[in-house]
Amino acid sequence: METKKLNPNQIVTLNDFPIYDKQALKNYFEAYKTNNETNIPLCPVIPSEIVIPYFDTTLSGKYQDFRRSHLKSEFFLLDGTHRTTAATLTKSPIGIIIFRNDNDILEARKLITPKKILPNKILDKNIKENCKILNDHFTIKPYFQTVKEKTERMIREKVIDQYLIDNNNN
The lowest-confidence range among 13-22, 57-66, 77-86, 147-156 is: 13-22
pTM here is 0.92
pLDDT, residue 170, reads 52
DSSP 8-class letter at 18: S
Q: Are β-strands 94-98 and 75-77 bridged in parallel, bridged antiparallel, or unpaired?
A: unpaired
pLDDT, residue 161, reads 84
CA angle 11/16/18 to nearest 5° reads 105
Q: Where are the domains of the chain?
A: 2-168
Q: What 3-state class would DSSP assign to 169?
A: coil
Answer whether 46's CB lies under 8 Å from 76's CB: yes
